[in-house]
Amino acid sequence: MSPVPAPQDASAERVPTVVADRVDIVYRVNGTGAGRGSATAALNRILRRGKAEKAAGVRRVHAVKKVSFVAHRGEAIGLIGSNGSGKSTLL
């Protein structure tokens, strides 16, 4: 009969495989939504490209704000949230 292997140090098995630390994802959205997709709206964006974002009608939208988590080997993480809450964006 072979001897039973000695238990390994538990801390050696707890090496993080995924670490997210205060993840922020910000999108720049052009325009106000009026005229979206029109040739006029596209031309206006081109003409205002070098101007300040606010003057050019650009707004910043936080898709993900300060998300942190750690996953260790063998663990699974679930993301739960409403539509448009940034679950897929985080991945």
Are the C-beta atoms of 77 and 31 separated by less than 8 Å? no
Q: What pLDDT digit, counting tens, does each position of 11-24 carry?
A: 556 899 999 999 99
Q: Distance (Å, rounded) from C-alpha 71 to C-alpha 13? A: 12
Q: What pLDDT digit, counting tens, does each position of 70-86 carry?
A: 999 999 999 999 998 88
The three-class DSSP label of residue 53 is: coil
Q: What pLDDT digit, counting tens, does each position of 32-49 carry?
A: 555 556 777 778 767 776
pLDDT at 91: 84
Q: For the residues 54-65, what does the mean pLDDT come to?
A: 77
Q: Distance (Å, rounded) from C-alpha 31 to C-alpha 69? A: 34
DSSP output for 66-82: EEEEEEETT--------
What distances in angstroms separate CA 66 from CA 26, 37, 51, 77, 91, one per listed residue?
11, 32, 29, 17, 14
pTM for this prediction: 0.54
